[in-house]
Amino acid sequence: MGPRVSADQVASPVAAASHRPRLVVCSLGVVSYPLALDRQRDLVAARQAGDTPDHLLLLEHPAVITIGVRGRAHPHHLLASRATLRDEGIEVHDVARGGDITYHGPGQLVGYPVLSLKPDRCDVHRYVADLEEVLIRTAASFGVEAGRVPGMTGVWVGNDKLGAIGVRLSRWVTSHGFAFNVSTNLDHFRFIVPCGLEGRGRDIAGASPRDTADPGGGRGGSRCRVRACVWPTRRLLNRE
């Protein structure tokens, strides 16, 4: 999706004090999970203090499995030992977001909105529904018909999951976010029960056909995916 970035490039969360846009969109390329987590923590603190505007971080992770609050109560959803995963080049991290267990890796567009929901959007369910709508509209822009499944979080194509969502809120400032499968290595999902959903389809990449979600391929296709995700986000969050 883009070049790797150094710690220096993602270290500072504070934007210029004057003429700040309502939503700062950062397309960061490939970023390690710990570095992205640190960036979010810094941004959350700055947003809570009123020192920076809302941000949307769009990036890609090297192969990593993350285990949310609910996932730690179900350790059997991790189907391989951490030693085996290390040999496969897959990191494992326990994280503070909601949700169960999920996989991130190359070919997956990850979005981390750091937004203040005050004063008029202090509704977790509405926020999650808005993120689902962002992914549904993004898929539609590439001709992929995605939707919701009653009682479940995320975005689906039939019985298969196209986009996962897991969020954290602190003093009504959001972090973590969504993962949108485009050309993800689906073989790595064999190491987990994705989102703890036993027997419920599988994660899919790019729907069918795969190139529907990656027009042109390569870096140009990646830029198209990023742009297609930005505009629904701006519109739904009233930050145009």
What are 110's two structure tokens? 């990850």
Q: In the beta sheet, which residues pair with residue 92?
A: 65
Helix (H, G, I), strand (E, B) or coil at 197: coil
Residue 229 known to be catalytic: no
Angstrom distance (rounded) from CA 11 to CA 176? 17
The Cα 220–Cα 67 span in angstroms is 32
The three-class DSSP label of residue 18 is coil
**Backbone phi, psi, residue 91, to 5°:** -80, 160
Catalytic residue among 26, 122, 195, 229: 195
Amino acid at 216: G
Rounded Cα distance, 107 and 110, in Å? 10
Pairing of the two strands 54-60 and 108-114: antiparallel
Catalytic residues: 195
